[in-house]
């Protein structure tokens, strides 16, 4: 029986115990029905009242089943890299009831506390907690250094490694090279961030590639439970190879970030006559400017399709300029000749072939 001093409770309906001496609610000296209005005699009784009569007991079947169900769906997840994106994901993981631990180069103890996350400054301490999942949220550029610095030997032998890097072939090959063979590998890319996912993740794409998941039922199940975090939030789940992802992402995400960053350099400002199209551009700048330059540079450096897209963008810009200047040249030329016509009358067309005199000889230069 739990006692909650601060809660008010309506009188519970108690049936008299067959043996009053064994009834915990009735003292020997009391009548059969307890009197809740009666002032307690002992000083301790002043603060303690009976507040609940059906609190879960550890030996209850119902409570056991419930905690077993929670354990079967909830994961212990260790986030490595607790910056902008790590914290963004942690918020939802905690809301869903997962046990979230974190480690980062910077001490994010206070931020972690506010989110309900246990923060470990030392990666050894985090790994000794034996999380079922390690979720890598570091910058693309630092991933290899961070991964090589993790005390993998302290983790459980078949830990599931997940990354959320915005490029996919790079972490996949890194994981396969560095991680022990017993570790499971799931490469993912939630295609949204703190800006685009501010009002929930419903309908937003989540790309994943089950690179190496053991056949064991428990390992398959663990991977599904992790993916289910995003299913539950309503994400559009897209299973895709890392290679395919990088091709698609260079054509879409890298172009988006590049255009956003070019526009940012123009310091665009809102005007009183914004069109819908212009509003879209301002939103694009807002969406992309919050991301670190490291992230953008990573998209360029670690996706070998990015260079081709940058060149295509450059060529498209040049082609557009040429088209504009071509039209401009035509207009200017036309205007120039119009002026010539007005000022000097119709200009004499120069004959294509030199004039010949009647005798067939060439005329002197003064006649031409
Ligand atoms: P980021 O600049 O790409 O990464 C910042 C994180 O990397 C921080 O946790 C930082 O740790 C860590 N880090 C950077 N350099 C490090 C180093 N030398 N050693 C150790 N740790 C280092 O910004 P982000 O937005 O948080 O992105 C994190 C990851 O999520 C990236 O891989 C990105 O591609 C991916 N992602 C981001 C978005 C998004 O919208 N932002 C969306 C999808 C996927 P400290 O803070 O402790 O320094």
Report yes or no on 226 lying in a domain.
yes
Helix, coil or strand: residue 200: coil
Report yes or no on 309 lying in a domain.
yes
Which residue out of 83, 195, 293, 300 has the highest number of ligand 1 atoms within 8 Å of its CB and is therefore the one to mutate? 83
Report yes or no on 295 lying in a domain.
yes
Q: Is residue 103 within 8 Å of 80, Cβ to Cβ? A: yes
Q: Does one domain contain both 181 and 201?
A: yes
Q: Does one domain contain both 209 and 118?
A: yes
Query: How far is the centre of ligand 1, averaged over its atoms, from the C-alpha of 299 (Å)?
Result: 12
Query: How far is the centre of ligand 1, averaged over its atoms, from the C-alpha of 142 (Å)?
Result: 8
- Domain encompassing residue 102: 74-240
Q: Does one domain contain both 136 and 257?
A: no
Which residue out of 145, 257, 295 has the highest number of ligand 1 atoms within 8 Å of its CB and is therefore the one to mutate? 295
Report yes or no on 353 lying in a domain.
no
Percent of the chain at pLDDT > 90 equals: 68
Stretch 140-153: mean pLDDT: 98
Q: Does one domain contain both 280 and 202?
A: no
Our count of domains for the chain comes to: 2
Last residue of a domain, one of 216, 240, 264: 240
**For residue 2, pLDDT beyond 50:** no
Q: What is the reported pTM?
A: 0.75
Report yes or no on 176 lying in a domain.
yes
Q: Does one domain contain both 223 and 257?
A: no
Which residue's CA is the nearest one to ligand 1's atom 38? 193
Report yes or no on 138 lying in a domain.
yes
Q: Does one domain contain both 172 and 286?
A: no
Report yes or no on 273 lying in a domain.
yes
Query: How far is the centre of ligand 1, averaged over its atoms, from the C-alpha of 75 (Å)?
Result: 23
Q: Does one domain contain both 176 and 164?
A: yes
What pLDDT is attached to residue 362? 73
Q: Does one domain contain both 220 and 327?
A: no
292 lines ligand 1 (CB under 6 A): yes
Pick the atom of ligand 1 nearest to 298's CA: 34
Q: Does one domain contain both 293 and 248?
A: yes
Stretch 314-334: mean pLDDT: 92
Long-range contacts of 142-150 (CB under 8 A, 24+ apart): 142/81, 142/294, 143/170, 143/171, 143/174, 144/174, 144/178, 146/80, 146/81, 147/174, 147/175, 147/178, 147/179, 148/178, 149/123, 150/80, 150/123
Instruction: Tell whether the torsion through CA atoms of 89, 94, 98 and 100 is positive or negative.
Output: positive
What pLDDT is attached to residue 309? 95
Q: Does one domain contain both 132 and 235?
A: yes
Q: List the strands of the sheet with 118-119, edge to edge.
A: 118-119, 99-103, 76-80, 133-136, 160-163, 184-190, 205-212, 236-239
Q: Does one domain contain both 269 and 289?
A: yes
Q: Does one domain contain both 206 and 296?
A: no
Report yes or no on 36 lying in a domain.
no
Q: Is residue 84 within 8 Å of 105, Cβ to Cβ? A: no
79: confidence class by pLDDT, cuts 50, 70, 90: very high
């Amino acid at each position: 029986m739990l006692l909650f001093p601060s809660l008010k409770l309506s009188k519970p309906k108690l049936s008299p115990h067959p043996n009053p001496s064994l009834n915990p609610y009735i003292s020997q000296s009391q009548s059969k029905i307890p009197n809740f209005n009666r002032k307690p005699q002992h000083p301790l009784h002043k603060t303690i009242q009976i507040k609940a009569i059906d609190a879960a007991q550890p030996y209850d079947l119902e409570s056991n089943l419930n905690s077993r169900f929670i354990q079967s769906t909830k994961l212990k997840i260790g986030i490595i890299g607790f910056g902008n994106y790590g914290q963004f994901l942690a918020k939802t993981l905690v809301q869903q009831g997962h046990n979230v631990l974190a480690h980062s180069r910077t001490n994010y103890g206070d931020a972690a506390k506010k989110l309900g996350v246990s923060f470990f400054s030392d990666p050894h301490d985090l790994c000794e907690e034996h999380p079922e999942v390690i979720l890598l949220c570091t910058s693309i550029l630092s991933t290899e250094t961070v991964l090589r610095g993790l005390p993998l030997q302290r983790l459980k032998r078949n830990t599931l490694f997940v990354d959320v890097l915005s490029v996919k072939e790079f972490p996949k090959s890194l994981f396969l090279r560095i991680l022990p063979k017993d570790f499971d590998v799931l490469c993912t890319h939630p295609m949204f961030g703190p800006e685009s996912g501010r009002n929930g993740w419903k309908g937003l794409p989540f790309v994943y590639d089950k690179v190496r998941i053991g056949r064991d039922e428990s390992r398959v199940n663990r991977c599904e439970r992790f993916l289910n975090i995003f299913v539950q939030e309503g994400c559009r789940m897209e299973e895709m190879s890392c290679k395919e992802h990088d091709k698609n992402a260079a054509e879409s995400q890298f172009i988006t970030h590049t255009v956003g960053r070019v526009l940012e350099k123009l310091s665009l400002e809102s005007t009183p006559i914004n069109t819908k199209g212009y509003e879209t551009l301002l939103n694009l700048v807002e969406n992309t400017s919050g991301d670190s330059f490291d992230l953008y540079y990573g998209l360029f450096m670690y996706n070998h399709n990015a260079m081709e897209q940058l060149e295509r963008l450059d060529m498209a810009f040049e082609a557009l300029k040429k088209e504009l200047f071509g039209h401009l040249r035509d207009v200017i030329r036309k205007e120039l000749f119009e002026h010539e016509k007005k000022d000097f009358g119709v200009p004499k067309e120069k004959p294509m072939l030199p004039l010949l005199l009647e005798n067939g000889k060439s005329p002197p230069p003064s006649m031409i």
